[in-house]
Amino acid sequence: MGKPISGLKKRVDWFYTSPAWREARSFILQRDHYTCVLCGFIGNSESLQVDHILARKSNPELSLHPLNLRTLCRSCHARAETSFSRGPGYKAKKRTNVGPDGFPSDDWR
């Protein structure tokens, strides 16, 4: 409420350079067999990205939790981010039943 959103656009994040994240990321890629969980695309650590199902900002304690991480290809990840910023779930991001991508996070339950 009336809070300035300065710094929100900044994409460079210490989190993604931390050893803990690199470790979690490679664990998730292996767990998901280097396959995008949405479209089935099979890639490698460069073509695939690890996505937070629940936003890190609202659920920082789940940042490295395997159940909150999933493997996505670049196009699914981009689509997920787009639907998050435009989708109906955007305003309701504090609700835990909506993932950061705006989709209901069924597999989270």
38 makes contact with Zn ion (CB under 5 A): yes
CA distance 102 to 53: 9
Cβ 34 to Zn ion, closest distance in Å? 12
Subset of residues 18 to 37 that bind Zn ion, contact rule: CB under 5 A: 36
CB of 104 vs Zn ion, minimal distance in Å: 18
Which of 97, 40, 49 lies closest to 70 in space, CA to CA? 49
39 near Zn ion (CB under 5 A): yes
Backbone angles phi, psi at 89, to 5 degrees: -80, -5
What are the beta bridge partners of residue 50? 71
Interacting positions 49-108 with Zn ion (CB under 5 A): 73, 76
Closer residue to Zn ion (CB): 56 or 74: 74
Task: State how beta strands 48-52 and 69-73 pair.
Answer: antiparallel
Binding site for Zn ion (CB under 5 A): 36, 38-39, 41, 73, 76
